Copies of this chain bind each other. A is one copy, B any other.
Amino acid sequence: MTEDRGSEHVRRIADATGLDARATARLRVLNCIRDAGEASRTDIAAALRLSPATVTFVTSGLMSGALIEEVANQETGETARRGRPRVALRLARGVHHVAGIKIARDAVSVLIVDFDGTDVAKGEFPLAKSQMEPRELVETVRSCVARVCSEVPGGIEALAGISIGLAGQVDANTRFVHWSSSLTRRNVDLGSLLDAELPCASFVENDANLVAKAEHLFGEARGLTNFLVVTVEYGVGLGIVLDGKLHRGERGCGAEFGHTKVVLDGAQCQCGQAGCLEAYVGSYALLRDAKGILKDPKDATVMALVAAAERGNAEAKCVLDRAGQIFGMGLANLINLFDPERIILSGDRQRIAHLHSDAVMSQVRRSVISVDAPLPEIRVHHWGDEMWARGAAALGIERVSALKVRDLGRDAA
């Protein structure tokens, strides 16, 4: 019974992240406050199994670094109790602005948030071409962020970090891009290019992982430690969070759910292989198979296909049904392999409606090996357009938090 407190966790986390013990304690408290939204020192002590004395020490450090702030008492809607009232703490607002930016096929979207995750400014810019030279991409990032920052005091120079989401195989730790659909070249050391052009810290991550981050910090996965996020759009992506950490795999490139094989020698996929899940479920696959129905190319959207199916078009229904069946099988396999707390389907309402129908869910139930415990919850999260940029911002906040708690230590020393 020597140890029911949290010091052992601190060491484990410290080993993994490279932060020293003090910074790790600060980060744990910060994340606890973020998870709770608002928390008093007593709450934090209970949640992290730290002594009140430690919490006072750590929070005073965080406050001096303007990472958290006290909530004025009258703001808390607490029923008056006896005793000294708790002082709620929350993440600092209006400071440490972070830019999240997503490079898509035809547009760049930028979202600027403060440390609390509150929106500060946003913008979307069309892209002339879907593939760019690395330098061109970096310049695009800089100029788009700068334009959105014109609304923000201090401009781009005042940002605490810029976080970039890219489709493809991205090593977030080294900021090395093995391959991305947005770049004309493979194997680009984007990190050094970014450092040369940008006035602040920058981060790069695979876009599905970003959405997982967004769900973890701001969405349907708050407080969870084992969950999966499936994104369906042009392709199909997967973010895996196990034990509270993004699982990026040995080669650092994340999971490729969209290219798991669901049919031996099946349909041709854009990746060059055959039988990929994405080749049945991705929006480009649906539209490919629905050419006969959606003759007008400018009407060739998933929404139109769904509408046709609802009007009773048998062929449209067939295409969507098959996508649903395959998708249900894929989801069931994820559950069989990972047994997560929750699976979150993230994406545009119209684009994923057919993927969480009763038919799909019953397909999942039929295919998950039965345990007496109930099936993991499958939730749908309809983000707005800025889903990806918000994910990038979430990553940015996380990284900036780590930098700040580390630098607080520097100042003291």
Q: Which residues of B contact A340 (CB under 8 A)?
A: 249-250
Interface assignment of A7: CB less than 8 Å from any CB of chain B: yes
CA of A240 to CA of B340 in the docked complex: distance in angstroms?
Answer: 14
Output the least CB separation between A30 and chain B (Å): 16
> Pick the contact of A7 from B1, B253, B325 — CB < 8 Å?
B1
> Which residue on B lies nearest to A271, using beta carbons?
B369
By a CB distance below 8 angstroms, the chain B residues around A8 are 17-21, 24
Q: CA–CA, A14 to B326, complex, Å?
A: 42
Q: Is the CB of A10 within 8 A of B1?
A: yes
From residue 1 to 42 of chain A, which have CB atoms closer than 8 A to chain B?
1-4, 7-8, 10-11, 13-14, 17-24
**Pair A325/B264 contact, Cβ less than 8 Å:** yes
Q: How distant is the Cα of A226 from the Cα of B249 in the complex, in angstroms?
A: 8
| Copies of this chain present | 2
Taking a contact as CB atoms closer than 8 A, the residue among B19, B255, B273, B367 that contacts A273 in the complex is B367
Say which one of A189-197, A310-318, A330-338, A396-404 lies at the interface with B.
Answer: A330-338
A249-265, CB < 8 A from B: 249-251, 253-257, 259-264
A186 within 8 A of B: yes
Encoded as 1 (CB less than 8 Å from any B CB) or 0, chain A from 279 to 318 comes to: 0000000000000000000000000000000000000000
Q: Report Cα–Cα, A400/B10, bound state, in Å.
A: 25
Task: Please count how many residues in chain A sit with their CB below 8 Å of the partner chain's CB atoms.
Answer: 69
Residue contact B1 to A24, C-beta cutoff 8 Å: no
CB distance from A198 to the nearest CB of B (A): 24
- Residue contact B336 to A260, C-beta cutoff 8 Å: yes
A247 and B242 contact, CB distance less than 8 A:
yes
A325 to B266, CA, bound (A): 13
Residues of chain A from 35 to 62 with CB closer than 8 A to chain B in the complex: none
A249 touches B14 (CB 8 A): no
* Cβ of A243 under 8 Å from chain B: yes
Pick from B13, B240, B339: contact of A250, CB below 8 A: B339
- Is B20 touching A2 in the complex (CB atoms < 8 A)? yes
B2 touches A373 (CB 8 A): no
A254 to B254, CA, bound (A): 21
B residues near A372, Cβ cutoff 8 Å: 178-179, 186-187
CA distance A10 to B275 in the complex (A): 45
A376 within 8 A of B: yes
Asked whether A124 is an interface residue with its Cβ less than 8 Å from the other chain, the reply is no
Determine whether A341 belongs to the interface, using a CB cutoff of 8 Å to chain B. yes
Please indicate which of the listed interface residues A7, A271, A371, A409 has the most CB atoms of chain B within 10 Å of its own CB: A371
When chains A and B are docked, how far (Å) is the Cα of A262 from the Cα of B17?
A: 38
